[in-house]
Structure 1
Amino acid sequence: MRIALYHPDIAGNTGTILRLAACFGISVDIIEPCGFAFSERALRRAGMDYAAAADVVRHADWDAFIATRRGRIVLLSTYAAIPLPSAVFASGDTLLFGSESAGVPENVRDAADLRVRIPMRAGFRSLNVAISAGIALAEGLRQTGGWPE
């Protein structure tokens, strides 16, 4: 299982997701451009020293990411019809998260093999992307038996 971030806007969120990935031994795809200068300094505060241990693959754009695609793309979106508890994950899935400010464009949404939403109480728009990544990854690892020993 992998996490992919499409045009991430906020270094702190990206750093937090890199820390999450390092702790659980999964890879992260960064689909550029980023809304911040992608540097160790920018990511250090949220990622701490864990971010350096994450397996990160940077892609110049969406087409470069698709060219190296592995397994299914599972888009997490507030607009998706399938609630997380009903989604069925596979170990080769890539969990794709859009930018904090704009999500993903239609062509990216259409390329997803599965579109999943995290159910929330009525009246709330969305969760922080790093929180969403942790929730979705936990469910995916639970289903696939991918938790580290």
Structure 2
Amino acid sequence: MASEKSIFHPQFPLELGRRYAVALYEPCIPLNVGSVARTCACTGVPLHIVGTPGFILDSRLAKRAGLDYWEHVELEIHRTWEEFEEKMVGRRMWLFSTKGDNLLWDAEFKGGDILVFGSETEGLPDRILGTRPDNVLRIPMVDGRRSLNLSNAVTVAVYDV
């Protein structure tokens, strides 16, 4: 039987999903998106898909990775980055990239923030990173490694915020 224990820290009683959201910009691997969706479902964090994914969102692989959690995901699709920015006006965005000078742990998150991740093969384009240079965050890794898997990076960030 599932535990009825709260997942929320007693010193920060706000629900995780109401504090912030996750956005994936043009993801290209359905299994990663399914895993991110599952993380979002399990933490109550809304998920935004921005731009054109490299696969059909209701593909068998994406559904398989998300298992039966998709029905619990608050999912919103945005056709373009500009459409997403317009809809999220007034909300602060944190852009995750291996190019970031600031570490995830140095950021001061607040309610309404959006954690934005790029595609698995390209990351976030410079045109997007350049819009918020002070809000580009990097998850620390050993030197000489390319990057974490997208779904792992999202999970690290979701639980650190």
Q: What does 1:19-34 align with in structure 2 at a 5 Å threshold?
A: 19-34=38-53
User: Any stretches of 5+ residues in structure 2 without a counterpart?
Assistant: 1-19
- Aligned partner of 1:101 in structure 2 is 121
**Is 1:131 matched with 2:152?**
yes
In the alignment, the residues of structure 2 paired with residue 2 and residue 132 of structure 1 have an alpha-carbon distance, to the nearest angstrom, of 14
- Aligned partner of 2:33 in structure 1 is 14
Contact 1:43/1:51 (8 A) holds in 2: no
TM-score by length of 2: 0.83
Which amino acid counterpart does residue 118 of structure 2 have in structure 1?
G
Deviation (angstroms), 1:53? 1.1
Find the residue that maps to 2:116 and give its secondary structure.
strand
TM-score by length of 1: 0.89
Worse-superposed segment, 44-53 or 13-22:
44-53
**Is 1:78 matched with 2:98?**
yes
Larger gyration radius, structure 1 or structure 2: 2
Deviations 1:66-110 (A, max 9, x none): 110151110111010011121211121100000011112122112
Find the residue that maps to 1:96 and give its secondary structure.
strand
Which amino acid counterpart does residue 87 of structure 2 have in structure 1?
T
Aligned match for 2:136, one of 96, 115, 119: 115
Identity %: 36
Q: Runs (4+) of structure 1 moved beyond 4 Å?
A: none
